A and B are shown apart, each in its own frame.
Chain A
Amino acid sequence: DAGITQSPRYKITETGRQVTLMCHQTWSHSYMFWYRQDLGHGLRLIYYSAAADITDKGEVPDGYVVSRSKTENFPLTLESATRSQTSVYFCASSSKQGVYHEQFFGPGTRLTVL
């Protein structure tokens, strides 16, 4: 029962490089989300997706790109990494059944941009 996994768990990169963070879930959940967690800000939504090929921006989307060609995968790409993107990134998924809509989180990826 893998649930939701993220890779890599830790990443160090340099300013200007492209970085892709992977998220994979085995529950066949329709909805997937990317959040970033920073001291003083809590968790903030970057992008979300309702289904394969359906994505939309959250609160802090600038500098990020997402895709969702398969239901189980939701990669997040930093096109040209900046120091302000140093953060912990969490992927989450949920399935909606009527009004029930509980989210489950992956273990997180700690990204450092030098």
Chain B
Amino acid sequence: GIQVEQSPPDLILQEGANSTLRCNFSDSVNNLQWFHQNPWGQLINLFYIPSGTKQNGRLSATTVATERYSLLYISSSQTTDSGVYFCAVDRGSTLGRLYFGRGTQLTVWP
């Protein structure tokens, strides 16, 4: 299967700081999603971004498919941003199965 590597594995920030999370993948993809797993365990869709740049409030994401990486930017972080951020990709299979990275654990302190 396709390899998905996320960095850093852990990130600790003070409230108000900015951060960049990275996702590298080993093969060309047709689908890339970013998820936030909150402290209650729910997986929340952040971005569907196979290529290009998207923004949603304080969060934005960029995928450079030709170079096989994606970046998630969090600006002015808040304590509610804490949790695990996952990147997941699909090679374009008919079924759209996702391959997940191991995630970045983000902790934001007040």
A43 touching B48, Cβ below 8 Å: no
B101 touching A103, Cβ below 8 Å: no
Q: Could you say which of B35, B41, B96, B102 has the most chain A C-beta atoms within 10 Å of its C-beta? A: B96
- What size tier do the contact residues of chain A reach? 20 to 34
B-side contacts of A107, CB under 8 Å: 41-42
A103 touching B98, Cβ below 8 Å: yes
- What size tier do the contact residues of chain B reach? 20 to 34
Known contacts A31-B96, A42-B86, A42-B103; A101/B30 CB under 8 A: yes
Against B, the Cβ 8 Å flags (1 = close, 0 = not) of A1-18 are 000000000000000000
- Complex interface residues of chain A between 51 and 85 (CB less than 8 A to chain B): 56, 58-59
Which of B30, B50, B95, B100 touches A43 (beta carbons < 8 Å)? B100
B95 touching A42, Cβ below 8 Å: no
A-side contacts of B95, CB under 8 Å: 31, 48, 50, 56
B94 on interface, CB distance cutoff 8 Å? yes
A-side contacts of B86, CB under 8 Å: 42-43
A90 touching B43, Cβ below 8 Å: yes
A45 touching B41, Cβ below 8 Å: no
B52 on interface, CB distance cutoff 8 Å? no
Known contacts A101-B30, A105-B43; A33/B97 CB under 8 A: yes
- Complex interface residues of chain B between 27 and 41 (CB less than 8 A to chain A): 30-31, 33, 35, 41
Interface residues of B (CB under 8 A from A): 1, 30-31, 33, 35, 41-43, 45, 48, 50, 86, 88, 90, 92, 94-98, 100-103
Knowing that A58-B97, A101-B96, A108-B43 are A-B contacts, what are 4 other residue pairs whose CB atoms are under 8 Å apart, sorted by A's residue number?
A90-B43, A96-B96, A99-B31, A103-B88
